[in-house]
């Protein structure tokens, strides 16, 4: 975990931490009700908000974010809010909620249960607590404030990333096979050729699997802050590392690498940098 994030956590007292976790859970519950009312139903229709590549948004995205914001407005009216679908709200508390109501809208409209709701809290130093919620499977991955656990239909279990292993045995995930620009794609392919298995299309659920000790690496490019704040918290709480492709902080988005441990992070980072810097 980075020093800035540790500093941000230290500035919050235990009562505030408990309150933030409580509100995050309430907000995720509210989003679940909305997203499940649309998922795999005839009421689900997608619009294209992109230029070029298909970038869908649905009424479920907007309503789920509105439901999350309503909970925060009621419970913590002085906090700021940054979300994917609605305008930024500026508060006075020094805390910001960072939201992606449906991360993986392409999967959502395709009926695959690999999308999720991302809710996190950040100080000026970066994200300090977050959750990845998959409503259809009913799994909620939580990270921060000394907590690293998954709550689901099979109970509550601790999250722990994989121990070090040789890259030839590693599993790598990303969302799109093309992975950003041509240079970013070449860097990803160089890494993919070094691992045992590469899988695609998992969106935020890939980070949840990393935190749960099922895979070793997630590498992406072109991310926004709301795509990565919550995954940073969950992965780091489970013992993993999240950085940009230069090894620095990743909470502003862009090129991101999430790794199960320091060894695989160092190897993957070196491979990516060799291509990008070469």
Closest by CA position to 119, among listed 235, 27, 12: 27
Integer Cα distance of 133 and 119 in angstroms: 8
Q: Could you tell me the CATH superfamily of domain 3-158?
A: Fructose-1,6-Bisphosphatase, subunit A, domain 1 (3.30.540.10)
Fold of 167-277: D-Maltodextrin-Binding Protein; domain 2 (3.40.190)
pLDDT at 9: 54
Distances in Å between the Cα of 267 and the Cα atoms of 161, 162, 190, 213, 240 are: 17, 15, 12, 18, 14
**Residue positions counted in the chain:** 278
Helix count and strand count (H, E) for the chain: 8, 14
pLDDT at 82: 98
Helix runs in 39-155, H state only: 59-75, 105-110
pLDDT at 265: 98
Same fold, 3-158 and 167-277: no
The domain spans of the chain are 3-158, 167-277
pLDDT at 3: 44
pLDDT at 6: 46
pLDDT at 238: 98
The pLDDT tens digits along the chain (278 residues) read: 444 444 455 579 999 999 999 999 999 999 999 999 999 999 999 998 776 678 889 999 999 999 999 999 999 999 999 999 999 999 999 999 999 999 999 999 999 999 999 999 999 999 999 999 999 999 999 999 999 999 999 999 999 999 999 999 999 999 988 888 999 999 999 999 999 999 999 999 999 999 999 999 999 999 999 999 999 999 999 999 999 999 999 999 999 999 999 999 999 999 999 999 87
pLDDT at 2: 46
């Amino acid at each position: 975990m980075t020093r800035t994030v540790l500093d941000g956590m230290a500035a919050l007292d235990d009562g505030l931490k408990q309150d933030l976790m409580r509100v995050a859970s309430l907000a995720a519950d509210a989003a679940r009700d909305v997203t499940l009312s649309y998922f795999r139903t005839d009421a689900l229709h997608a619009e294209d908000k992109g230029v070029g590549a298909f970038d869908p948004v649905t009424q479920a995205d907007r309503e789920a974010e509105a439901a999350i914001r309503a909970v925060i407005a009621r419970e913590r009216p002085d906090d700021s809010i940054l979300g994917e679908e609605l305008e930024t709200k500026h508060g006075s508390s020094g805390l910001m909620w960072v939201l992606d109501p449906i991360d993986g809208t392409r999967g959502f409209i395709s009926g695959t249960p690999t999308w999720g709701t991302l809710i996190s809290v950040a100080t000026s130093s970066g994200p300090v607590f977050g959750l990845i919620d998959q409503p259809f499977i009913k799994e909620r991955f939580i990270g921060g404030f000394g907590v690293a656990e998954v709550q689901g239909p099979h109970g509550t279990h601790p999250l722990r990333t994989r121990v070090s292993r040789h890259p030839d045995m590693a599993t790598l995930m990303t969302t799109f096979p093309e992975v950003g620009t041509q240079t970013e794609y070449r860097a990803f392919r160089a890494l993919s050729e070094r691992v045992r298995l590469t899988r695609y299309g998992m969106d935020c659920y890939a980070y949840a699997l990393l935190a749960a000790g099922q895979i070793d690496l997630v590498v992406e490019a072109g991310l926004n802050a709301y795509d990565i704040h919550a995954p940073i918290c969950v992965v780091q709480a489970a013992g993993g590392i999240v950085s940009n492709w230069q090894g620095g902080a990743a909470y502003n988005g862009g090129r991101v690498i999430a790794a199960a441990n320091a060894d695989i992070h160092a190897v993957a980072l070196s491979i990516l940098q060799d291509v990008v810097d070469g």
